[in-house]
Amino acid sequence: MNRPQPNEYPIWGETYISKVDREIFEILTEQITTLPALFERNAEKADYAYAEGKWTLKEMLGHIIDTERVFAYRITCFARNEAQPLPGFDEDAYVLNARFATRDLKDLIEEFASLRKANLFLFRSLNEDELNRKGIASGREINVKSILFIAAGHVIHHVGILKDRYHVV
């Protein structure tokens, strides 16, 4: 699948889309195992945050899960020609109110893998027309294909943060 063009997504999307360097479905599929493996290898750091006020590893994974759900919802809406604008979301408020710190890391790992597997059925079912459909999310126009790339790039982005700031291996 060709990568989205800059006029198909808001400027903030470039942060994530630029990280996608291979076939999108290859990356989305690999992340089902590579992201859980990263968290499993670093389970002893599950409650570690690199600085005061920063998310723990469990909170980071919870954020990734919440964001995956938001992206899948947006993809579903826009692929189905939803005309209503969709709201944004405040990721810090989501994490603050989700109680990820009280959750078991293994459950969060399984939740991500299960969610991504389920979402891939939707993602792979989309035809070219559906991938090019647009909608408004967070006050900005974006197409379905761009959200797919952002979903993959979002995970890559956070893996980079985990390696750089949390020193996971």
Q: Read out DSSP for 46-113?
A: TT--SSTTSPPHHHHHHHHHHHHHHHHHHHHHHHTT--SPBP---HHHHHHHHTGGGS-HHHHHHHHH
Q: Is residue 2 part of a domain?
A: no
Domain count across the chain: 1
Q: Is residue 70 part of a domain?
A: yes
Q: Is residue 57 part of a domain?
A: yes
Quick one: what percent of the chain has pLDDT higher than 70?
Answer: 100
CATH of the domain at 56: 1.20.120.450
Q: How confident is the model at residue 126 (pLDDT cuts 50, 70, 90)?
A: very high
Burial class of residue 83 (count of CB atoms within 10 Å of its CB; 0-12, 13-18, 19+) = exposed
Assess contact for 10 and 142: CB atoms under 8 A. Answer: yes
Q: Is residue 6 part of a domain?
A: no
Angle at 69 between CA 66 and CA 74, to 5 degrees: 130
Q: Is residue 33 part of a domain?
A: yes
The predicted-structure confidence for 66-121, as pLDDT tens digits, reads as follows 999 999 999 999 999 999 999 999 999 999 999 999 999 999 999 999 999 999 99
Range of the domain at 104: 12-165
pLDDT of residue 21: 96
Q: Is residue 7 part of a domain?
A: no
Q: Is residue 106 part of a domain?
A: yes
Q: Is residue 1 part of a domain?
A: no
The predicted-structure confidence for 21-36, as pLDDT tens digits, reads as follows 999 999 999 999 999 9
